[in-house]
Copies of this chain bind each other. A is one copy, B any other.
Amino acid sequence: MRADEIAEMRRLRIFEDVAPERILEMLRPAFLQRFPAGVELVREGDPADFLHVVVEGQVEVFSAYRDRETTVSVLGPGQCFIMAAVVLDRVYLKSARSLTAARVLLLPADAVRRAFGEDAAFARCLATDLAQSYRMVVKELKNQKLRTGLERLANWLLAHRIERGNANRFELPFEKKVLASRLGMAPEVLSRTFAALTPYKVKVKGAIIEIGDVDALTKLARPTATIDDPDT
């Protein structure tokens, strides 16, 4: 890794409050790798050799069972995945593939575990990160078990609107079939569900979404802090 790359890496959230020497020690055996789109980075069931951090691009985390497949999340720069498997030295529970061309930082699992065992600041860092991840999944589980497809889409749109700085017009960050899988429905159903939102002034033209009446959509979606607020 080059010096400028190392400088870039140490600003990652997982290294917050960790001593600089410790960060360098962990980065020494690490790789910063480039992948084209559509590559499987990690396969469910394999032992966890690396802690992965997305530096650039998008990574889809998904899982398969029988002939079905579902995407658990889509990660962007700064987010890392499969921390729990690395900390516990277990197999990956999910697979991951690059959705776009991507740069990924690969931290060898044993180095991470050693740092976890020796460095209290890093251990705390991982703990808070794990706690946040845990809460995210819990929210997603509630989203799935308590809401219909229409409600999930409506709430996703509202959450994404906020993420985009309250923009009432934005482009979908990934393909509709990925969104469908993330929301837990078939692509065809997503199409129909978008169509069902036209009475609420949601316009769809290709990947461009326009939310014509935020209040109407909010009344339909009924967002809740304990499911939809990422800071709660």
Q: Which residues does A use to contact B, with CB under 8 Å?
A: 44-45, 63-66, 68-70, 72, 83-85, 87-88, 90-94, 116-117, 120, 123-124, 126-128, 130-135, 137-142, 144-147, 184, 222, 224-227, 232
A93 to B226, CA, bound (A): 5
A227 to B72, CA, bound (A): 14
A134 to B88, CA, bound (A): 11
The answer to whether A65 touches B227, judged by C-beta atoms less than 8 angstroms apart, is yes
From A145, which residue of chain B is reached at the shortest CB distance?
Answer: B70
A200 to B32, CA, bound (A): 51
When all copies of this chain in the complex are counted, the total is 2
A72 to B134, CA, bound (A): 13
From A143, which residue of chain B is reached at the shortest CB distance?
Answer: B65
A14 to B128, CA, bound (A): 16
Given contacts A70-B145, A145-B184, contact A127 B116 (CB under 8 A): yes
CB of A232, distance to nearest CB on chain B (Å): 6
Contact of A222 among B66, B133, B134 (CB under 8 A): B66
A44 to B222, CA, bound (A): 16
* Contacts A63-B146, A72-B142, A90-B232 supplied; 14 other A-B pairs, CB < 8 Å: A44-B226, A64-B146, A69-B146, A70-B145, A84-B132, A85-B135, A87-B127, A87-B128, A93-B142, A94-B142, A123-B127, A126-B127, A133-B134, A144-B144
Given contacts A88-B128, A128-B87, A225-B45, contact A139 B93 (CB under 8 A): yes
The answer to whether A93 touches B138, judged by C-beta atoms less than 8 angstroms apart, is yes
Chain B residues with CB under 8 Å of A141's CB are: 72, 137, 140-141, 144
Chain B residues with CB under 8 Å of A132's CB are: 84, 88
A128 to B85, CA, bound (A): 10
CB of A220, distance to nearest CB on chain B (Å): 12
Chain B residues with CB under 8 Å of A44's CB are: 226
Contact of A117 among B45, B68, B124 (CB under 8 A): B124
Contact of A87 among B65, B84, B131, B133 (CB under 8 A): B131
Q: 24 interchain pairs (CB within 8 A)?
A: A64-B146, A65-B146, A65-B222, A68-B146, A70-B142, A72-B138, A84-B134, A87-B127, A88-B128, A88-B132, A91-B232, A92-B226, A93-B135, A93-B139, A93-B226, A94-B226, A123-B123, A123-B124, A130-B131, A130-B134, A133-B134, A137-B137, A140-B141, A141-B141
